[in-house]
């Protein structure tokens, strides 16, 4: 049996841009992608802390060091600039993998700078 487990999370990411006319996706600063081990075009779930919206899209790279979290296309209707998001990826894992796996959790400040990378022991 496989379980779908949290693989990585960017916690309290602040939306910096929303562009309804873009083709769709979520732009994320490359430094944040590296810290959370997220990849361009990876499927993500997003949870808006401000309004409770839950939606999904995929990652595109935003410039390294920019702090950009941009919602594009239809996703731009789910949050406003300044809203806080939780951005998650999940992965199927075997029971053996689940017993030793720890997700990557990256806590962000109000400028989308890394505040802490949470370690689970």
Residues known to be catalytic: 25, 58
- Give φ, ψ of 34 to 5 degrees: -65, -45
CA distance 13 to 47: 10
Closest-CA residue to 81 (of 113, 110, 109, 54): 110
- Give φ, ψ of 43 to 5 degrees: -70, 135
Report CA torsion sign: 37, 28, 79, 72: negative
Closest-CA residue to 85 (of 4, 26, 10, 6): 10
């Amino acid at each position: 049996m496989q379980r779908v487990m949290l693989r990585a999370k960017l916690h309290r990411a602040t939306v910096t841009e929303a562009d309804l006319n873009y083709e769709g996706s979520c732009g994320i600063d490359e430094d944040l992608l590296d810290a959370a081990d997220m990849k361009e075009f990876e499927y993500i779930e997003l949870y808006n802390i401000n309004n409770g919206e839950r939606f999904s899209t995929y990652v595109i790279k935003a410039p390294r060091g920019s702090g950009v979290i941009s919602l594009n296309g239809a996703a731009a209707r789910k949050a406003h600039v300044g809203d806080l998001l939780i951005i998650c990826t999940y992965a199927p894992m075997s029971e053996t993998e689940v017993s030793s796996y720890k997700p990557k959790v990256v806590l962000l400040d109000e400028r989308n700078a890394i505040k802490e990378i949470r370690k689970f022991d």
